[in-house]
Structure 1
């Protein structure tokens, strides 16, 4: 029997009313000085939109005493879910921006922004400039990584044995986890070319990948990579994989590198890329951002006008979309605050068809855990046993919650950095075969 929620008692939720916490700083300061201020600065709205945003800013300036309110009917197809299933009880209790669960208040903020800018009448992304900068400012990193990816996946002279495929899998998982924190100097261009393979029997290439993996593991507080690779290696045929992505920009590029690897090696016959249904959390990725990323890559030419590694990658990814090997899937659940064990039945049934779902990023991880105060040592499988498919969480820590972490590792991190929970320098690779877990119950 499949679990419908974690099999251990649920702890209380994180709220934003505890001074000194990241949640408090976010909802009492950052949402105004960083998020709303950026929206005002980077967009030119009509006067009635500006007035609504100013009213929202006024509410947030008194976040400790201003209660949440129901959303007006603004044309959004999610309005009943928000008002009847998410907000109703908190509005009745007169919860404020700070006393409501942090996830509810934070997702509600972005939904209020959509109302204020008439998004469902005129779908303009108020964070588009930041998303564009996320690509253009990363062009050097994109080009460097594209060269290495193409050496593995595009050059038919490079043999990919089962052993090397699984080794490469680990590298692509780490790339998706760490993004621009991966030290590409440890993965030299040409490290796996035909001459090297013939001259060294692949030894130098293996050493290069080993260096990348070793460097990536140093800051991981919970590492289930061995279990993940073992599970994937035992899949009997090419399967569907899912990637529930987080941010646009270079992070999305790294996630798409993982999706590229999965289909090019035949590990997956299709990858469903799960995306946000409207702009949220500034940089969270939508279907249009995947398309924009591919178009951006295709446009990168050399000074002589020739194709570059990035443009070759972009053309291959466009073919993945047109052939159906990649499917872009937007859903409103991904822009709502409910715990993932309250996933709607249509999405639950769809994800149950997946051999594995990679869940990316801190905000998605918070929802995997229900944004609750779990003891850090609570086993990951005890919490994630409810998920509709086997699941692998790839998260860099940017919020004060977690599970499945050895006390030795968390104590080490706390000694090294008193902001270890929110600095984004530590990560987890956590895997749970929920189907095996269900069979063992």
Structure 2
């Protein structure tokens, strides 16, 4: 459907590069201003003392911002039928209440990977994280804040973002959304929002933040076919030390959108897709889920029949093995 919308526009210059979802994405961004200010303020305060944090403190901040990025995925205009779904409250204050809604929590494993790479890294070595983006608006801000923390803490040296090359699922991030968001932050009348925008623009100029898009992300293929269908993209992802896949649709494509048993291991459902260590940050909005403990899914079915589609639950699911 989204490719058909794009096709119709391509055949009708001068609106061939028009994003029909632009206004509602912009609205969602502006309606989330208070939450964005809170997050940018927290990040700038954190950056002031980041070099003084010990390993345990760094780990705590990493877990916090990883969860903010996870729950930022609740803001999805395709699932809300484009109704207002902006983030109105400070997401950092909600983390304790939301923690028990994380059905699979592999944050410790992700942290172990990153801290061990940092300890072994020589001064000239690159540590690269790739983030396969989902929604623009507040969720994109949470992803940028997480990326900034990873760079500022020297856990990584490069962040590569992957977005959509055409408007997709209403609120998915395109290159225009990515650049527009940073420009909006730069020109904001809040000093910490502006500071974030200026910093991120500088990181892009230096090449430590890089944006990519590729047609594969808007094709119907599951990700296990990427090596054959989009060899160039698969080769690019192989350069990564960790790939973070955001959102529900990426999870569906990671797992082939099949009706797996809940206890099937995440690694098995990936069906040999493994360009690099990877994790999924996803709030559940469709009826596919793997990697649960025995009886966990059945218990949820009994207590909440629609638990898989409401966005109430989330997973931080990691796969290291090749």
TM-score by length of 1: 0.64
Conserved? CA contact 1:152–1:158, under 8 Å: no
Q: Could you list the runs of 5+ residues in structure 1 that have no partner in the other structure?
A: 1-108, 188-210, 303-307
Identify which of 27, 30, 45 aligns with 1:133. 27
Q: Residues 282, 354 of structure 1: CA spacing in aligned structure 2 closer, same or farther, 3 A cutoff? A: same
1:47-73 per-residue CA deviation (whole Å, 9 max, x = no partner) reads xxxxxxxxxxxxxxxxxxxxxxxxxxx
Q: Residues 120, 220 of structure 1: CA spacing in aligned structure 2 closer, same or farther, 3 A cutoff? A: farther
Cα separation, 1, equivalents of 2:137 and 2:3: 22
Cα separation, 1, equivalents of 2:10 and 2:50: 53
Q: Which residue of 2 aligns with 1:20?
A: none
Q: Which residue of 1 aligns with 2:43?
A: 149
Q: Which residue of 1 aligns with 2:3?
A: 111
1:228-252 per-residue CA deviation (whole Å, 9 max, x = no partner) reads 1112221122501000010101011
Conserved? CA contact 2:44–2:192, under 8 Å: yes
Conserved? CA contact 1:221–1:406, under 8 Å: no
Which structure 1 residue ranges, 4+ long, deviate > 6 Å from structure 2?
180-183
Cα RMSD after superposing both structures = 2.0
Conserved? CA contact 2:264–2:290, under 8 Å: yes
For residue 407 of structure 1, report the CA deviation from its aligned partner. 3.8
Conserved? CA contact 2:73–2:246, under 8 Å: no
Corresponding position: 1:160 with 2:53: yes
Corresponding position: 1:424 with 2:316: no
SS across alignment from 1:273:
strand
Cα separation, 1, equivalents of 2:299 and 2:201: 44
Q: Which residue of 2 aligns with 1:350?
A: 236
Conserved? CA contact 2:284–2:311, under 8 Å: yes
Q: Which residue of 2 aligns with 1:250?
A: 138
Identify which of 154, 177, 180 aligns with 2:70. 177
Cα separation, 2, equivalents of 1:241 and 1:407: 32
Cα separation, 1, equivalents of 2:295 and 2:37: 38
For residue 298 of structure 1, report the CA deviation from its aligned partner. 1.4
Equivalent residues in 2 for 1:12-91, closer than 5 Å:
none
1:319-354 per-residue CA deviation (whole Å, 9 max, x = no partner) reads 111111100000001111101011111111110010
Cα separation, 1, equivalents of 2:50 and 2:9: 52
For residue 119 of structure 1, report the CA deviation from its aligned partner. 6.6
For residue 282 of structure 1, report the CA deviation from its aligned partner. 0.5
For residue 220 of structure 1, report the CA deviation from its aligned partner. 1.0
Equivalent pairs counted in the alignment come to 297
Conserved? CA contact 1:221–1:410, under 8 Å: no
Cα separation, 2, equivalents of 1:261 and 1:382: 32
Q: Residues 224, 180 of structure 1: CA spacing in aligned structure 2 closer, same or farther, 3 A cutoff? A: closer
For residue 162 of structure 1, report the CA deviation from its aligned partner. 2.0
Identify which of 156, 160, 179 aligns with 1:268. 156
Conserved? CA contact 2:39–2:92, under 8 Å: no
Conserved? CA contact 2:245–2:278, under 8 Å: yes
For residue 404 of structure 1, report the CA deviation from its aligned partner. 0.7
Q: Could you list the runs of 5+ residues in structure 2 that have no partner in the other structure?
A: 75-86
Cα separation, 2, equivalents of 1:269 and 1:135: 28
Q: Which residue of 2 aligns with 1:227?
A: 109
SS across alignment from 2:286:
coil
Cα separation, 2, equivalents of 1:219 and 1:381: 22
- Larger gyration radius, structure 1 or structure 2: 1
